[in-house]
Amino acid sequence: MSLFEKFNRYDEMRSYFEERGTMPFGAVTERSLSSTEAIVNGHRVILAGTNNYLGLNFEPEAIAAAQGAIEESGTGTTGSRMANGTFADHLMLEKDLAEFFGTKGAILFSTGYSATMGMSATLAGPGEVTLLDADSHASIYDGVRLSGAEIIRFRHNDPADLEKRLRRLGQRAEKTLIIVEGIYSMLGDFAPLEEIASLKRKYGAYLMVDEAHSLGVMGDNGRGAVAEAGVEDDTDFIVGTFSKSLASIGGYCVSNHPELELVRYAARSYIYTASASPSVIASTRVALKLMRQRPELREQLWKNAHRLHSQLAELGLQIESHVSPVVAVKLENTETAVRWWEDLFQKGVFVNLVIPPASPSTYSLLRCSVSAAHSTEQIQRITDAFSTLKE
Amino acid sequence: MFMNIAYDEVLTTTVSIVSRLVKADIELSADTDLLADVGMTSLQVMELVLEIEEEFDISFPLNRLPDIQTIKDLAQEIAASLDQ
């Protein structure tokens, strides 16, 4: 018996991949060649699993801003927002975000994880209730576990099931936080936000929407799924990340509730961690501006998403019927999924391998994410690589 | 509909739901351990919770899961929820 016995299953998995001479988890990007190509684990590959939806990670203006911020303010803040780590640039990005979303307030977190986890842990507390979609991201599950609130799941994207649970809560629904995601990361499916917002209103609950995968992807100016569904007034809190469409790192929460300012004193993932470095803030501000200025990026992203979706569907692969920048190929057999991931990699295509329990059910996924920066030829090469795979 | 349901009935229904979800080689009883005896995976446990919620028209908070080892523990929690 040892403290590490419980890690044996991870060791087994690691050994399994080592014996195969492959490394799908923690693959090493040795050199980035562009937004869509890199040398990974010694192979030149098309990046089709990076969440780099708008391809903004090599924008000269963002790079110059980050370089300037380093020269002016140094490499790091060396402290928490509550101590010495609030720089003028943090406040400016918060102002940018509030203005972009049209909300009264915004607060920054150092990562998307700490934003979602921190808000999930802080908003509903002991004696209150959190109702979360069953397919919520790990950061939401981690947060609600810390919250002390009663945690109730509802069936994924099922407003009727959500309503049942709200009804059972009776008066307690008024002290209940509903948490959903704009786009779910594994299958790229969309929350039925209009119906959820209507239920939130009917039962007097609160609603938080995680826009990690929908910022820059949906809605007017890329404001996300909430904006696209027109439910801004019913959405109490929007959380999200800078690490996908904005190609940096960090997270945020925006809200019209003036109490959001008080969350700064209550959210432990805000208080007890160093604030984002000045270069990160600088590049994020530029990326946010570019996202608004270049709607053509979003148009191209969706064109690419439609192209990859239809091409993979034509191959007869098991994919979802909806079109989304996340295109996930489902496989019942994990061994096949691993072998296919390896074959794709050898053919120069990097996708994400997702196996249970990380996948939403018992199946495995080869999860592709499309970028506005992918060329038609690259999308074709991704499809060609899939076309050669055999059961 | 389940307001005054007897604990024994809850137990019988719970055993039936568990047996539907897992293909156990052993005969299930109140003392059957869901992990050690039946080997339920985390996904199966989540499915079990959803099935139970559907069957008894209750919401079963995830916070209570760590306290549940046996089918009896689960049935008692369900009965307590029905009494509320």
For A359, name the nearest residue in chain B, comparing CA atoms only. Answer: B43
Same domain, A115 and A258: yes
**b/e string for A357-385 if b means 16 or more Cβ within 10 A?**
eebbbebbbbbbbbbbbbeeebbebbbeb
Taken in order of first residue, the domains within chain B and their CATH numbers are 7-83 (1.10.1200.10)
The residue of chain B with its CA nearest to that of A357 is: B43
Task: Give the range of the structural domain holding residue A223, as residue numbers without chain letter.
Answer: 77-276
Answer whether residue A289 is part of any domain: no
Nearest-Cα distance to chain B for A187, in Å, is 17
Give the number of beta-carbon pairs within 8 Å between A and B: 29
How far is B66 from chain A, CA to nearest CA, in Å? Answer: 12
Residue A174 located in a structural domain: yes
Backbone angles phi, psi at A239, to 5 degrees: -115, 160
Closest by Cα among A161, A200, A177 to A116: A177
DSSP string, B55-76: HHT----GGGGGG--BHHHHHH
pLDDT at residue B24 tops 90: no
Within 13 A of B1's CA, how many CA atoms are on the CB side?
6
Interface list for A 131-150 with B (CB within 8 A): 134, 150
- Is the CB of B61 inside 8 Å of chain A's CB atoms? yes
Interchain contact A164–B (C-beta under 8 A)? yes
**Which 8-state DSSP code applies to residue A175?**
G
* DSSP labels, chain B: --TT--HHHHHHHHHHHHHHH---SSPP-TT-BTTTTT---HHHHHHHHHHHHHHHT----GGGGGG--BHHHHHHHHHHHHH-
**Which chain B residues are closer than 8 Å to A165 by Cβ?**
59
CB A234 within 8 A of CB A205: no
For position A383, which CATH number holds? 3.90.1150.10
Could you tell me if A81 and A220 lie in one domain? yes
Structure tokens at A119: 């808000």
Partner residue opposite A362 with nearest CB, options B43, B58, B59 = B43
Structural domain count of chain A = 2
Tokens representing B38?
A: 């039946």
Per-residue pLDDT of chain A (391 residues; tens, 9 = 90+): 799 999 998 999 999 999 998 889 989 999 999 999 999 999 999 999 999 999 999 999 999 999 999 999 999 999 999 999 999 999 999 999 999 999 999 999 999 999 999 999 999 999 999 999 999 999 999 999 999 999 999 999 999 999 999 999 999 999 999 999 999 999 999 999 999 999 999 999 999 999 999 999 999 999 999 999 999 999 999 999 999 999 999 999 999 999 999 999 999 999 999 999 999 999 999 999 999 999 999 999 999 999 999 999 999 999 999 999 999 999 999 999 999 999 999 999 999 999 988 888 889 999 999 999 999 999 999 999 999 998 7
ipTM for the whole complex:
0.84
In a domain, A209, yes or no: yes
Of A134, A151, A164, the CB nearest to B61: A151
